[in-house]
Homo-oligomer: A and B are copies of this chain.
Amino acid sequence: MKTKISLFAMALCTFSLLAQNMNNVQMPEITRINSRKFINVPNIMGYKTLKCDFHMHTVFSDGQVWPTIRVDEAWQEGLDVIAITDHIENNPSKKFVSGDDNSSYEIAKPYAEKKGILLIKGAEITRAMTPGHFNALFLTNTNELDTPNYMNAFEAAKKQGAFIIWNHPGWKAQQPDTCKWWDIHTELLNKGMLHAVEVFNEQEYYPIAFDWCNEKGIAYTAASDIHGLVENLYDLSKNHRPMTLVLATENSESALKEALFAGRTIAWFGHFLAGKEDYLREFFKASIKISQISDKKVYRVVNVSDVPFILKSTDGTQFTIAAFSESTIEIPVSNKGDFEVVNLIIRSNKNLSVKFPF
């Protein structure tokens, strides 16, 4: 008789026999263990790499969850920082849901503190094109942004010290045939009312926006813009939600704010990282450890980050270093070691170049 019954099963047996003497019995084994996912990314350049999602909604605008759920999701998925950015101007649930523009933050903040998630007060300035939609972070009183004239909203945000992001600049609903930077955006930039662009939003990315970030010296961001459940939109067993990695001196609101205004960000979406060349180079170097095995053409490669690296050489050699893995690779004798990392993007049409062995 093969007795491949597990101890677990034996526990169940005992359990059911004992049960008759009890009024109620906890069955914790069917529930999720109270632990969260690790996101493995290296700390680089002396900074801590914070994992942030600065764009999401709740029932206080057109989202489908109570604000505390956004904290639960972020905690489960391993994020450090979130901003709830309910639309200021429109709330399709208003037949049922009241409250003012500060309500979602006020409800979620105490819970976020208990869970150890840094919740930044934010809101979405939601206007027709131009100028479009913008997230303002680090607000003190969102209600002051609820004004008929959009410029007044930007002024109120600036007065509160906000960090302002242009959301989904190539969104078809607003820019159907183009992804254009308008004069108003130059004006906002010049007035200190525009500090970043979403190069990625939800499931969509905007290659042209990469170049704006570089040319205009503004920060790269990526965000989920989630309205329903993160779990239902992204396959979290294989991937993470889109997020902005922020290189901060520590995990605190003031350090985050300093880092954002200094532009120390990397946009992370799917298998792609987009950002300044030097940040991506440092990220790559901190992720990969290479050592030679017995033979001079065979290497052991360790990748300690959750980002895979897809490498391509001019001679056609290409390979993928899987995320968080150890692998061996063989490089052809003739290969000179010049590789492009196809998924590390430093311009809309340019990837990071690296020299092997890294």
List residues of chain B with CB within 8 A of the CB of A113.
Answer: 293-294
Binds B, one of A9-17, A126-134, A146-154, A212-220: A9-17
A192 at the interface (CB under 8 A from B): no
Residues of B within 8 A of A96 (CB): 60, 97-99, 103, 107
Q: How many residues on chain A are close to B (CB under 8 Å)?
A: 118
Q: Is A279 an interface residue (CB 8 A)?
A: no
Assess whether A93 is interfacial by the CB under 8 Å rule. Answer: yes
Q: Are A10 and B12 in contact (CB under 8 A)?
A: no
**Could you tell me the distance between the alpha carbons of A29 and B29 in the complex, rounded to whole angstroms?**
15
Q: A59-B66, A69-B64 are in contact. Are A319 and B30 (CB under 8 A)?
A: no
Does A8 sit at the interface, judged by CB under 8 A? yes
Q: Which residues of B contact A8 (CB under 8 A)?
A: 7-8, 11, 29
Near B by CB (< 8 A), chain A positions 37-71 give 37-38, 59-60, 63-66, 68-69
Q: A231, B231: Cβ atoms under 8 Å?
A: yes
Nearest CB of chain B from residue A32's CB, rounded to whole Å: 4
Which residues on the B side are within 8 Å of A17 (C-beta)?
349
7 closest A-B pairs by beta carbon, nearest first, are A35-B325, A23-B179, A35-B327, A24-B170, A64-B66, A30-B270, A19-B207
